Amino acid sequence: MTVTYEKAAPKRVRRTFDERLAALEQERERLEERKALRAAKESPTAKAALAALGALERALSAATENNHSALKRAASDAREPLVGFFESEGLPLPSPRGPRARKGAKRS
């Protein structure tokens, strides 16, 4: 009686040196992009644009709540050039924040 053994699959796939180096290079590029984006966000013009955009967003939401169509139209028209500025500078638009939820009491 002959017993044959099948070769077991390797437990993990080991990356070659070149694959590991390529992964590190990609990570380095990603970090460099984050560094450049952070520096761009710290510029005084970007900070002022962010503040102005936030004020327009608040005005737009207040106009929507109070059904004030003239203010709503004016705020949305003023928002468009700021959005263009963010796109031209390569900055991401801030995500609109919704109302914060209140933390309730813990339930057992």
Q: pLDDT, tens digit, for every residue of 33-51?
A: 999 888 888 889 888 988 8
Domain containing 85: what range?
28-89
- Within a domain: 101: no
- Within a domain: 48: yes
Q: Which pTM was predicted? A: 0.58
Exposure string over 4-43, b if 16+ CB within 10 A, otherwise e: eeeeeeeeeeeeeeeeeeeeeeeeeeeeeeeeeeeeeeee
- Within a domain: 40: yes
Q: pLDDT, tens digit, for every residue of 75-87?
A: 889 888 988 888 8
For the chain, the domain total comes to 1
- Within a domain: 80: yes
- Within a domain: 23: no
- Within a domain: 73: yes
